């Protein structure tokens, strides 16, 4: 998971892009980067660290230019280098005249990369954004294509999820894969600046009034003159397109104040909580979320059930690396550093504990244990997503299938493993009731039903 | 506001101290420091930055020793240097054999400092912790006092709030001012390690089972042999002592999962919300807190009134320095970086907005404005503390009196300034109903009734 | 003045290049850089600092590849940035496949740069090496030329001095301007590694046995298969070529153990001293050089005259920035930091002081004064080069004409300014007696006779 | 070997001290440090690096105060830390009120250190300067001595060589061991600033006119009021004092422009050369020094013999760490990085090669080999010191006895090892002819005759 931003036609594009990246910081804290065009070439800076560390105000001031694209990157194993960060640029005799940032995952990455490498193309990273960029540039430079045709050619060849912003020194292109898997919204500020982002919360902080989805397989070109949408050939089967948005964005990844796929994220979460409540005949003393992603689910549950909601778990936001080596036995502190229980809160209570999902099961086990040790009489675990049984190939860093607890154990076994008194996942059908168009979502991680092979 | 920690008699004292400092990070993010005794002398490290940045695991490993004291420091203007950080040590021919960390504020700082400077004592910082330490050491070295007598002498001379931990290479002393203004709790882990901290959440993460208050004017000496409490002379009027805890710790500073002054912080906040609700005949569509400090007040309000609670404001936790220069006009982004409104949430709603306090009034004005712009029909502002009319001299960084809006304006004027439809503060009497012993608190910032002249 | 190095076909090319750069460190201490080919693309590192600082062993180990080119850069005003350092590379879809380092100065730099910029070529530096590289690459990419033809095209268009090494991932090209102004030698080690350098002392340290001059207007291509010399069209007047070596290299710049233009540098300097002595009827008590560049001139003078030679001035080699601000009056320490007089050495002596040249005259004035203050009875100044009256446009950083003291004052006036008892420059004719082929040198700085307009 | 400096009573004491340290840089390049008194306490900075790196002008400006002491440190194995650098200070309640820098070596270091450690004194370094300082302070603080008596007490207890400068916030003390082994000179500038240094070249650059030796066992106190010399009790056998200067300072360590022990260093070296020449019946083609320490010996030799002197070996001054790993076989580059031979210089020549000393013999072997490979017909090695057979315990970092080649091999065996055609050391008697008072020198490294057991 990552976040992208693009700002077109603002005197202080770099500052706006940084502000947008900051709003998307929750989508990636490992590294971030920005490329700014001065009208001729791009200046690039990308580095390990948070947006406010990598782009302090005195640094931003040196990035002169009216077009800026940016990226925040999620930590993934074995790739924590400046090179693997985004954006990517391609340099030439004429300077760095292309820059690209992408969110998603390319399914046929190695196949396409090898094809290009055989033609001599050189890769500096193990990153799919670089692949997409170099594929496009190769078509332009070697096949004589125009940039839009080159993007179309890329779309035919590169399979997977990509919400991508590509910039030249005077134009900006928004590009989205045919299933529109990862989120991507854009809009205009009152002074005419075009902004594209992964999440609408980044548009909001920049003052964009009307947000629009980039359509599946969409190519939108922004120039000083106009904004143009390019249609792919409707008769070409390779451009079959269909909304298959990642439903996990609504459940977990996105900020609750974002508006994706025509949904208010927090509203969907409240509905999920309400759906869970409807199936439950339990009368809890209190409904408690695992903060912060499950907060609205718990509110929704409590409102539906007319029972008490409270935040019994406190989250420490100054997280980061773990202090103490594994042999340290005082406390299993990887969880206790992140969460703590309110004192004298749980004693003797029948608790409904809401979490958004269970992946490996190790964290929820520790949380349940922590609540039990804090004196809870019963802990009834309610999960705001169906059981995660299949890995994601479209941009979410899931473990391999055998590490997914729901792939290996029955619900009763998971309940037992977690130490909960009862456990219920939301049913996929009930989950789909919480969104407007149930056909427009990818839920392969629950159903195994992948839109792309 | 700052936080202290002391760990006595653990093979990995530095790691435990770091963990405790991490739990108290909310009390100070500017700088932090630690002094560790190897049995002979202290090694000191203090630096600008968060605990996890200043003390990464590889650094902690080099701090060998069984006694560690630590400190996290709140940013205060004009003093952001390593020197002003704590702990402080005093070096000599025999190495650094004293280390001290303190939370609070010395009222007669300049007077006592000048007195010592006249005697030749040298100060490296403008920090009251150094004053306390050097006053004590001066008594030991020049007046031939034992350490406990020297601490008592300090207590007679130094006025103000101090929750202080002092360590020698083989002993640790917990020292608290006669009014016990700032919080200070201690306890033992199951393996016999003694821990003292500003907040109980730091004891919790270290596995301390039974937490105890350090009494007002208390001096507790911890050695390998025993733990000893030293009583001050009951006939000496200078040791008049009386609990006058800072009530603002309960309202705002402390983590909700801390247990101070015999109170569950979150419970007090819920009661405050309930008290506010009882006086209100308004029927809101929704009760919304200014996150995170007012969350429990809003829950308490909603529960009391049986109306809807929801988090309509989202807080971005990746805060830090401001990006864009003041002339930037797109958005007043100092607030919009920190808070955002849920989309389509406030539209047409009658909102009760709960905040813990109003100091200058500038932030709440922007938040009310943000909610109004998001479509709220009415915003009724409810404040979980009485009007702040007087500055604090005991460790809270309040602006001077003329900047306190409640000192300058009537409630109606403040309501008008904030743009709210109505405004109510909790009454001091009602606030005191929320705690067990109403006489045990300092509420000078509301009442002007200062325990120390 | 700068130094270049190229190493072809050695498993540890980067280490050899660093060693060669170290031997040429006297040609430039401001910054240095290296580009190493792994067979496909170049890795580049260039930075302010000395060779041993920028390329410590642990860094060199990471530069894998069999071709390496390097550069040391002389400090020139207003350009002390990593960008202005060399080598330069040009990047593309295929990686960085060209790297170039050059010593010299392009006379029509701004004209050619503007021509390329109009065609869209982008420049990252204000450095002539980048101009030469981009001119060549432009011909290859836009005019469809082969690399050798592109180099020839560059030679027709770019005027001035350039001793240049250009590398592709599998070939190395040595290129020298038609007047062979700056030095450039190459050779092979016993194990077949080809090395090219500015000075033979760099070849020596790498174990090259037979050193060869790169001819004027020469293009030598080194590949794994063979070494090939490309002749320019003899009928094309633009390739008129003629040895016009910079005679100042022999007088001052080069290391005395270098062998340039078929001359032993130290031998030429000794002969200069002897020529000066022949014209002198003075009988000095001692002959003293301004160290280190004039040492051999003084030895030559003393041997010719059979009089005493001694180093009466000591040079501090730990030079660098000046410590003390100009207002400091104890000593004019910019010279006294660099040179000091032997105690009790000069007292009452008639001294012949040898220096290689006088540019502005300010330093020699201070040295003469220092020797007089040390008690010398007479100081007779002898200069190993004719009066410098004209600026250099081919790679030496001379001040503009009005700052050249010999352009503004008569010899008698200069003597008076310097405070010497007598002053003699070597005559140009006598200087030319010290080299083998008097026609093969540029002496425009003395004669105003520029080979290139 | 190290260098010290002390500056008393100058508004810009730190700048002067830095300038003096810079003049003494040849005595130590590993680290340097300075302590400056503002009248109350010392500010200390010490760090790995050269003087100009550690004390750039902008840093010096922050060191306000009228007394400054400084130190440059020679690299010795296993101790390259900031802690082991000098000066040392002792801190207390009253700030850092003592600072000390010392050159020399304490013979009974471990014995005295242990004695102090038993009394609780804490040591931060493995450095004899700290021992001297803490011994003195201990006497002051625990035995109630005045500072001069404490210094005397130190002199009775601490054996070895020490040229030491000790400062309090308003006084400076120059202290020298009873044998005056290491050099130490002082004097006054025309504006009344008192300067003390290891070498007179540091006094010269600061404008000191009359230099004086600090006498053996001397204690000189400098205050704003006066300069006072303290005599030790002439009847106390522990103060037996006698000049036993290190003769190696004249041969090798000191800068040739220094004036030590009433001798011009360069003059002594010239005389050594002349003495060597007198015993030689060889008629060389050329006399060549191993630069730079042997330059004057070679000049003296050539002048005496009326034969040709020339610098046939060139020294690269940009030395530092070795680049290439030992397995590298192209060249034994540890020597070839430092020295190179003039091309076509040695061919067929009978060379007298002068070096100042032979310690292990490995370097001279490589130099002789280098000269032979350069074509020399004969290399006759002449050494300006007698055979080094015994280690130094007074401040020179010699290897242990078995590594001293002259301790293990006969002269003929050494000649054979070095590959020279003949080898002669100067005789000790002849060496002593080169100085004024032959009894005033320590020559234990040649004779085994140690002044201190």
Sheet of D227-230: strand order equals: D88-90, D98-106, D160-168, D171-176, D219-222, D227-230
Does the CB of D63 have a partner CB in chain C at under 8 Å? Answer: no
Question: Would strands D42-48 and D88-90 be described as parallel, antiparallel, or unpaired?
Answer: unpaired
Residues B141, B38 within the same domain: yes
pLDDT at D334 over 80: no
Q: How far is C32 from chain A (nearest CA, A)?
A: 23
Closest-CA distance of chain C to residue A125, Å: 12
- Among C330, C370, C373, the residue to mutate for chain D (most D Cβ within 10 A): C330
Whether residue D453 is contained in a domain is answered as no
Claim to verify: residue B68 and residue B214 sit in the same structural domain: yes
B303: in domain: yes
Contacts of A40 in chain C (CB under 8 A): 122
Of C92, C93, C122, which has the smallest distance from its Cβ to A41's Cβ? C122
Helix, strand, coil shares of chain A as percentages rounded to 5?
A: 30, 25, 45
Q: Does A93 touch chain C (CB under 8 A)?
A: yes
Q: What are the tens digits of pLDDT across the range D190-209?
A: 999 999 999 999 999 999 98
Q: Is the pLDDT of residue C365 over 80?
A: yes
B180: left (phi over 0), alpha (psi -120 to 50) or beta: left
User: Token digits for B319?
Assistant: 């805060």
How many angstroms separate the most distant Cα atoms in chain C?
73
Q: Are residues C212 and C271 in the same domain?
A: no
Summarised one tens digit per residue, pLDDT across range C92-137 is 999 999 999 999 999 999 999 999 999 999 999 999 999 999 999 9
pLDDT at C377 (0 to 100): 98
Across B81-108, average pLDDT: 93
Instruction: Give A-chain residues touching B308 at CB under 8 angstroms.
Output: 303
Do A297 and A150 belong together in one domain?
no
Burial-class residue A410 by CB neighbours within 10 Å (0-12, 13-18, 19+).
exposed
Neighbouring chains of C at 3+ CB pairs under 8 Å are: A, D
Per-residue pLDDT, D253: 92
- Taking the CA of residue A192 and the nearest CA in chain C, the distance in Å comes to 29
pLDDT at B327 over 60: no
Q: Sorting pLDDT into bands at 50, 70 and 90, what band is D335? A: confident
Residue B322 pLDDT grade (very low, low, confident, very high; cuts 50, 70, 90): very low
In the 8-state DSSP scheme, what is residue A39? S
Residues of chain A found within 8 Å of residue C137, distances taken between Cβ atoms? 93
Q: What is the residue range of A158's domain?
A: 3-242
Contact A207 B331 (CB under 8 A): yes
Closest among B188, B181, B178 to B158, alpha carbons compared: B178
Give the residue-averaged pLDDT of A124-152.
96
* Min distance B119 CA to chain D CA atoms (Å): 9
Q: Measured between beta carbons, which residues in chain C are less than 8 angstroms from residue D295?
A: 311
Give the tens place of pLDDT for each residue, D57-106: 889 999 999 999 999 998 765 466 777 899 999 999 999 999 999 999 99
Question: CA B232, CA B266: separation in Å to the nearest integer?
Answer: 34
pLDDT at residue number C231: 75
B314 touches chain A (CB under 8 A): yes
Q: Are residues D58 and D175 in the same domain?
A: yes
Judge if A282 and A370 occupy the same domain: yes
Kindly state whether residue B12 falls inside one of the protein's structural domains. yes
Q: Please indicate whether, in this complex, the C-beta atoms of B19 and A333 are within 8 angstroms of each other.
A: yes
Task: Please indicate if any CB of chain A lies within 8 Å of the CB of B346.
Answer: no
According to the model, what pLDDT value does residue C237 have?
63
Q: Is D79 exposed, middle or buried (0-12, 13-18, 19+ CB in 10 A)?
A: middle
pLDDT for res C58: 87
Per-residue pLDDT at D318: 79
Q: Over 70: is that where the pLDDT of D305 sits?
A: yes
Higher pLDDT, D330 or A143: A143
D340 touches chain C (CB under 8 A): yes
pLDDT of residue B399: 79
Indicate whether D323 pLDDT > 70: no
DSSP-assigned beta bridge partners for residue B416 = none
Say whether A56 and B321 touch across the interface (CB within 8 A).
yes
pLDDT score recorded for residue B80: 65
- Asked if residue A329 has pLDDT above 60, the reply is no
> Where do we find the tokens 């170049």?
C42
pLDDT band at C330 (very low <50, low <70, confident <90, very high): very low
Whether residue C21 lies inside any domain: the answer is yes
Residue D254 in domain: no
Angle of the C362-373 helix axis to the C411-418 helix axis, nearest 10:
50
Q: Which residues of B touch A331 (CB under 8 A)?
A: 205-207
C367 touches chain A (CB under 8 A): no
Tell me the pLDDT tens digit for each residue of C416-429. Answer: 999 999 999 999 99
Indicate the SS3 state at residue B417.
helix
Give residue C400's pLDDT: 82
Confidence of residue C319 (pLDDT cuts 50, 70, 90): low
Q: What is the pLDDT of residues D241-283, one digit of tens each?
A: 899 999 999 999 999 999 989 899 999 999 999 999 999 999 9
CATH number, domain at C110? 3.60.20.10
| Minimum-distance CB partner of C341 among D25, D257, D314 | D257
> Do the strands B441-442 and B245-246 form a parallel or antiparallel pair, or are they unpaired?
parallel
Q: How far apart are CA A129 and CA C324, in angstroms?
A: 53
The domain total for chain D is 2
Quick one: pLDDT at residue C431? 98
CB contact under 8 A, B137 and D94: no
More confident site: D332 or D372: D372
Average pLDDT over residues D434-442: 95
Minimal Cβ distance to B93: which of D41, D94, D134 = D134
| Same domain? A64 vs A202 | yes
**Does A40 sit within 8 Å of C95, measured CB to CB?**
no
Mutate to test the interface with D, among B39, B89, B93, B170 (most CBs of D within 10 A): B93
Statement: residue A302 has pLDDT above 60: yes
- Enumerate neighbours of A (3 or more CB pairs within 8 A): B, C
B449 within domain boundaries = no
- CATH (domain of C337): 3.40.50.2020
Task: Provide mean pLDDT across the span A120-148.
Answer: 96
* Backbone phi and psi for residue C308, each to the nearest 5 degrees, phi listed first: -75, 135
Is a pLDDT exceeding 70 seen at residue B321?
no
Mean pLDDT along residues B280-288: 95
Chain segment A243-275, per-residue pLDDT in tens: 999 999 999 999 999 998 989 999 999 999 999
A18: which DSSP letter? H
Catalytic site includes residue B2 = yes
Task: Report the Cα B92 to chain-centroid distance in Å.
Answer: 32
- The answer to the question of residue C234 being in a domain is yes
pLDDT at residue D296 above 90?
yes
Give the model's confidence band at C210: pLDDT under 50 very low, under 70 low, under 90 confident, else very high: confident
Same domain, A135 and A235: yes
Give A116-143 as a DSSP string.
HHHTT---SSS-HHHHHHHHHHHHHHHS
**Do C198 and C281 reside in the same domain of the chain?**
no
B-contacting chains (≥3 CB pairs under 8 Å):
A, D
- Does B98 touch chain D if contact means CB atoms closer than 8 Å? no
User: What is the pLDDT at residue A33?
Assistant: 97
Tell me: do C175 and C52 sit in the same domain. yes
Inter-chain residue contact C342 with D264, CB threshold 8 Å = yes
Residue C243 reports pLDDT greater than 50: yes
Is B256 in CB contact (< 8 Å) with chain A? yes
pLDDT confidence of residue C314: 93
For range B110-124, the mean pLDDT: 96
What angle is formed at CA B185 by the lines to CA B181 and CA B187, rounded to 5 degrees? 165
Contacts of A259 in chain B (CB under 8 A): 343-344
Query: D298: distance to nearest CA of chain C, Å?
Result: 10
Instruction: Indicate whether B88 and B22 sit together in one domain.
Output: yes
B121 touches chain D (CB under 8 A): yes
Question: Between B and D, how many CB-CB pairs are < 8 A?
Answer: 38
Q: Please say if the pLDDT value at position A320 is more than 70.
A: no
Top mean pLDDT of A73-82, B376-385, C328-337 is at B376-385
Q: Is residue A87 part of a domain?
A: yes
Report C:155-194 residues touching A (Cβ under 8 A): none
> From D118, which residue of chain B is nearest by alpha-carbon distance?
B94
D255/C330 Cβ within 8 A: no
Residue B143 has pLDDT above 90, yes or no: yes
Nearest one of A285, A250, A284 to A426, comparing CA atoms: A250
Q: Using only C-alpha atoms, what is the Rg of chain D?
A: 23
Residue in A257, A259, A298 to test binding to B, most B beta-carbons within 10 Å: A257
Count C/D contacts: CB-CB distance under 8 Å.
162
- In this prediction, residue B76 carries a pLDDT of 63
Nearest CA in chain B to A333: B205
Q: Which residues of C touch A93 (CB under 8 A)?
A: 90, 92, 121-122, 134, 137-138, 141
Partner-chain contact B93 D41, CB within 8 Å? no
As a whole number, mean pLDDT of residues B103-117 equals 96
Mutation to test the B interface, candidates A205, A318, A325, most B Cβ within 10 Å: A318
- Give the Å distances, CA to CA, from C250 to C269, C271, C297, C431, C434: 7, 11, 11, 11, 10
Cβ contacts of C255 on chain D, cutoff 8 Å: 314, 340
Residue B64 shares a structural domain with residue B163:
yes
- D439: pLDDT strictly greater than 60: yes
Three-state DSSP at A36 gives strand
Domain boundary among B180, B207, B242: B242
pLDDT at A90: 95
> Distance of CA D260 to CAs D212, D244, D249, Å?
9, 13, 8
Least confident of A64-68, B336-340, C34-38: B336-340
Q: What is the mean pLDDT of residues A199-217?
A: 93
Over range C78-102, report the average pLDDT. 89
Residue D76, pLDDT score: 63
Distance from CA of C169 to the nearest CA of D (A): 24
Residues of chain A found within 8 Å of residue C95, distances taken between Cβ atoms:
122, 124
CB contact under 8 A, C25 and D318: yes
Q: How many residues does chain B have?
A: 453
Tens-digit pLDDT profile for residues C2-23: 999 999 999 999 999 999 999 9
CB contact under 8 A, B95 and D138: no
Task: Report pLDDT digits (tens) over A331-367.
Answer: 455 777 889 999 999 999 999 999 999 999 999 999 9
pLDDT category, C320, cuts 50, 70, 90?
A: low
pLDDT band, residue A322 (cuts 50/70/90): very low
Enumerate the residues of chain C whose CB falls inside 8 A of the CB of residue D54.
none
Residue A209 banded pLDDT, cuts 50, 70, 90: confident
Q: State whether C91 and A91 contact (CB < 8 Å).
A: yes
Let me know: does C175 contact C166? Beta carbons within 8 Å: yes
pLDDT at B152: 94
């Amino acid at each position: 998971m990552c976040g992208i931003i693009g700002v077109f036609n603002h005197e202080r594009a770099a500052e706006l892009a940084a502000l947008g990246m900051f709003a998307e910081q929750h989508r990636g804290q490992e590294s971030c980067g920005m490329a700014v065009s001065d009208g001729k070439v791009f200046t690039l800076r990308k580095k390990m660290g948070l947006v406010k560390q990598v782009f302090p105000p005195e640094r931003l001031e040196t990035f002169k230019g009216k077009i800026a694209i940016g990226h925040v990157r999620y930590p993934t194993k074995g790739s924590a280098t400046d090179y693997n960060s985004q954006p990517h640029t391609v340099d030439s005799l004429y300077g760095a005249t292309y820059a690209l940032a992408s969110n998603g995952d390319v399914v046929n990455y190695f196949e396409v990369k090898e094809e290009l490498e055989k033609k001599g193309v050189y890769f500096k990273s193990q990153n799919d954004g670089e692949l997409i960029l170099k594929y496009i540039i190769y078509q332009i430079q070697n096949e004589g294509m125009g940039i839009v045709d080159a993007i179309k050619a890329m779309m035919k060849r590169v399979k997977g999820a990509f919400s991508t912003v590509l910039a030249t020194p005077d134009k900006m292109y928004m590009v989205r894969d045919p299933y529109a898997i990862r989120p991507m919204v854009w809009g205009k500020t009152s002074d005419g600046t075009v902004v594209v982002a992964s999440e609408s919360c980044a548009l909001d902080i920049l003052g964009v009034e009307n947000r629009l989805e980039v359509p599946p397989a969409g190519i939108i070109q922004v120039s000083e003159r106009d904004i143009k949408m390019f249609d792919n050939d409707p008769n070409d089967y390779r451009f079959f397109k269909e909304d298959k948005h990642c439903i996990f964005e609504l459940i977990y990844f996105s900020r609750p104040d974002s508006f994706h796929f025509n949904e208010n994220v927090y509203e969907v979460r409240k509905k999920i909580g309400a759906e869970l409540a409807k199936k439950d005949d339990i009368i809890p003393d209190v409904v408690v979320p695992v903060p912060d992603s499950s907060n609205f689910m718990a509110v929704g549950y409590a409102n539906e059930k007319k029972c008490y909601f409270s935040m019994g778990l406190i989250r420490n936001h100054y997280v980061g690396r773990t202090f103490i080596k594994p042999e340290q036995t005082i406390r299993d502190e990887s969880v206790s550093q992140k969460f703590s229980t309110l004192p004298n809160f749980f004693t003797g209570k029948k608790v409904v504990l809401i979490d958004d999902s269970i992946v490996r099961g190790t964290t929820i086990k520790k949380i349940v244990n922590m609540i039990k040790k804090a004196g809870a009489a019963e802990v009834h675990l309610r999960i705001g997503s169906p059981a995660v049984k299949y890995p994601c190939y479209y941009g979410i860093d899931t473990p391999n299938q055998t590490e997914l607890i729901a792939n290996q154990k029955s619900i009763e076994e998971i309940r037992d493993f977690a130490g909960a008194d009862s456990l219920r996942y939301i049913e996929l059908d009930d989950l789909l009731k919480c969104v407007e168009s149930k056909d427009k979502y990818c839920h392969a991680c629950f159903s195994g039903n992948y839109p792309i092979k």
